[in-house]
Amino acid sequence: MCGIIGYIGDTNVLPILINGLHRLEYRGYDSAGVALLNENRLYLQRAAGKITALEQKLPADAPLSTIGIGHTRWATHGVPNEANAHPHCDCHQRLAVVHNGIIENHGVLRQELIDKGHIFQSQTDTEVLSHLFEEYLASGMPLSEAVRQGLLRVQGTFGLAVIDEETPDYLMVARNGSPLIIGHGQGACFVASDTAALVGLTDKVTFLDDGELAILSRNGVAVKTIDNRSVDTRVEIIDQNLKRIEKAGYPHYMLKEIMEQPQTVEDTMRGRLLEEECTVKLGGIGNDIDSLLYARRIILTGCGTSWHAALIGEYLFEELVGIPVEVEYASEFRYRNPIISEDSVVIAVSQSGETADTLAAVREARRKRCKVYGICNVVGSSIARETDAGVYLHAGAEIGVASTKAFTSQVTVLALITLLLGRMRSISSARGGELLRELQQIPQKIERILQQHEQIRALAEAYQDARNILYLGRGYQFPVALEGALKMKEIAYIHAEGYPAAEIKHGPLALIDKDMPVIVIATHDSIYDKILNNIQEVRARNGRVIAIATEGDQEIKKYAEHVIYIPDVLEPFAPLLTIIPLQLLAYDMAILRNCDVDQPRNLAKSVTVE
Cis peptide before 87 (omega within 30 of 0): yes
> How far is 340 from 606, CA to CA, in rounded Å?
27
- What CA–CA distances, in Å, run from 17 to 45, 198, 241, 490, 599? 12, 10, 19, 29, 20
> How far is 402 from 386, CA to CA, in rounded Å?
26
Cβ within 8 Å of residue 394, ≥6 positions away = 264, 267, 268, 270, 377, 409
Active-site residue, from 371, 445, 489, 605: 605
Cβ within 8 Å of residue 198, ≥6 positions away = 20, 181, 183, 190, 192, 205, 238, 240
Cβ within 8 Å of residue 49, ≥6 positions away = 29, 30, 31, 32
Q: Of all helices (H) and strands (E), which one includes residue 472?
A: strand 468-473
- The values of phi and psi at residue 42, to 5°, are -80, 125
CA dihedral of 337, 342, 348, 354, whole degrees rounded to 10: 70
Is the C-alpha dihedral spanning 327, 358, 1, 121 positive or negative?
positive
Could you tell me the strand order of the sheet in which 95-100 lies? 88-89, 95-100, 158-164, 171-176, 212-217, 220-225
DSSP secondary structure code for residue 273 in this structure: E
Q: Of all helices (H) and strands (E), which one includes residue 56?
A: helix 51-57
Residue 204 bears catalytic tag: no
Contact 601, 350 (CB under 8 A): no
Contact 245, 397 (CB under 8 A): yes
Question: What is the b/e burial string over 533-555, where b = at least 16 CB atoms within 10 angstroms of the residue's CB?
Answer: ebbebbbeeebbbbbbbbeebee
> How far is 26 from 41, CA to CA, in rounded Å?
31
β 41-48/31-38 pair status: antiparallel
Residue 605 bears catalytic tag: yes
> How far is 12 from 533, CA to CA, in rounded Å?
67
> How far is 34 from 46, CA to CA, in rounded Å?
6
Contact 405, 261 (CB under 8 A): yes
Contact 474, 493 (CB under 8 A): no
Contact 31, 83 (CB under 8 A): no
Active-site residue, from 2, 189, 278, 370: 2
Which residues make beta-bridge pairs with 68? Answer: 7, 36
Catalytic residues: 2, 605
